[in-house]
Chain A
Amino acid sequence: MRPIHYLRCFAGIARREWLRFLNQRGRFFSALVRPLVWLAIFATGFHFVLGVSIIPPYETYVPYPVYIAPGLIAMILMFNGMLSSLSMVYDREMGSMRILMVSPLPRWFLLTAKLLAGVIVSVLQAYAFLAIALIWEIEPPWYGYITVLPALVLSGLMLGALGLLLSSAIRQLENFASVMNFVIFPMFFASSALYPLWHVKEASLLLYDICEINPFTHAVELIRFALYGQIEPISAVVLVVATAIFLTLAVYGYDPAKGLMARRVAE
């Protein structure tokens, strides 16, 4: 197999992901509406409750909707990452996973291609959200729309890889729903998505430490800084390391020699 075969394979996987996305308009709609509801209702309600001091990368006091926008973008990426993996569990139950797994290309490549294809769809949704968020005067500088792209891709990869790992360890769709609850909500709330971490530190040092090691926090912060043309190096490193760990474990989980995939594909 030559590099061109890999490229064609990736293009095919990405195309399928896109077609599935187009076929599931409800998925797009709900992925977009969820953060908008937070922005329209939650952010408005908490506007005067939560004070946001001047913290980097902001140079002035910012309205609360502006503060939570990066967290909501990361939320889109997280839901998409999980849904893309959910489709892996669905594919496995429906049998179409076998077609992917018997491709002559190596399994690590197939899983990475699937992950990247999901990230492309996620990033497009994040930009759709940013366009609608202009209504709430969430207006990063023009170059922020460009500099945020690598942050979106890296965050999407980390969250997608986590979803892939979960899908490799889950037997049935029903189990996936409960794991989503135990993963998505704790990750989202124990992060800097809704409140600055100095607020959290004042309330609970333990929770602060949890937030600090939560990779979702680093996805939010990387996006927050990137929207203003800045890079948050620690967050970038954390995301790269977390992506590598999650993806490696997922590939291990889908390896027939380890028995996990063997057991599940067969059932």
Chain B
Amino acid sequence: MSTMPAFSVEGLGHRFGQRRVLKEVTFSIAPGDFTVLLGLNGAGKTTLFSLATRLYAQAEGTIRIFGMDIRERASECLRQMGIVFQQPTLDLDLTVDQNLFYHSALHGLSHREARQRIAVEAERVGLIEQRAEKVRRLSGGQRRRVEIARALLQQPRLLLLDEPTVGLDIASRQFMLDHVRRLCREQRIAALWATHLIDEVGEGARVVVLHKGEVLADSAAAQLLGEMRAPSMRAAFETLVQEREAA
């Protein structure tokens, strides 16, 4: 079980009508890995997330969560996943606690379990004092923290985050990054962090570069820099994109 990838996609493709948005996408993530899915807007990151979370029906290729095919065992797969969507998904008119209890119920947690889990996760993201506040009153950074606390309530082994830092200030961005990296390190949660912000690919991260629906690179960040002989991740990314465009 330990060698089983937490998340793997193989030959994944998707079309919107005639437009092909994902082509033969293949990569996998091991438990405890922090993997950055790097790509410009429109690269296909959100489509990939929508397929992995069953919001889209998948037609080409396979997606496996801890070895389980999502088409065959959707329920078990979704139980293993914590998801932070790009678009805010909190109910603004409910309090932080009400949002978190609602999510717990959707995952079948009892009220007692939910209360314990909410206390733990709210403390971890530093929102104990805001639990009774309506989400509408929270800042963008605080709302994102609530969303990440929510994604962890059912104790998932895989975390999918789609552009989780968009619109956040530097301090909130750093908090999110540190928090997720700590979860990977300490709890062996596998995280797939989709972003277009190149500087979020920190040292030690794995990076999957997605461009116009195709995987251009899939390796450890340091290895990619070495192979590309690039001084920075930005330079490596630009070279990869230029090479693809020229091909």
A residues lining the B interface (CB < 8 Å) = 1-2, 4-6, 8-9, 11-13, 15-16, 19-20, 23, 94-96, 98-106, 110, 255-259, 261-262, 265-266
Rounded to whole angstroms, the CA-CA distance of A114 and B178 in the bound complex is 37
Q: How far is the CB of A187 from chain B (nearest CB, A)?
A: 30
Q: Which listed residue, B50, B88, B98, B103, touches A265 by the CB 8 Å rule?
A: B50
Residues of B within 8 A of A94 (CB): 88-89
B106: contacting residue among A9, A258, A266, CB under 8 A: A9
Question: Which residues of B from 105 to 162 have beta carbons under 8 Å from A?
Answer: 105-111
**How long is the Cα–Cα vector from A262 to B16 in the complex, in angstroms?**
10
Q: What bracket does the count of chain B residues touching chain A fall in?
A: 35 or more
The answer on a CB contact under 8 Å between B57 and A105 is no
Give complex CA distance A266, B140 in Å: 22
Nearest chain B residue, comparing its CB with the CB of A100: B106
| Residue pair B55, A98 in contact (C-beta under 8 Å) | yes
Contact A1 B75 (CB under 8 A): yes
A259 to B88, CA, bound (A): 23
Interface residues of B (CB under 8 A from A): 46-47, 50, 53-57, 74-76, 78-79, 81, 83, 85, 87-91, 93-94, 98, 101-111
Nearest to A266 among chain B residues (CB) is B50
Q: Which residues of B contact A265 (CB under 8 A)?
A: 50, 55-56
Which residues on the B side are within 8 Å of A102 (C-beta)? 53-55, 78, 81, 83
Question: Closest residue to B108 on the A side, CB-wise?
Answer: A5
CA distance A266 to B56 in the complex (A): 8
Q: Which of B55, B98, B110 contacts A16 (CB 8 A)?
A: B98
A110 to B75, CA, bound (A): 13
Q: Cα distance A266–B48 when bound, in Å?
A: 11
A146 to B103, CA, bound (A): 35
CA distance A101 to B89 in the complex (A): 12
A259 to B14, CA, bound (A): 12
Q: Are B105 and A9 in contact (CB under 8 A)?
A: yes
Q: Are A99 and B103 in contact (CB under 8 A)?
A: yes
User: A11 — which chain B residues lie within 8 A by C-beta?
Assistant: 105
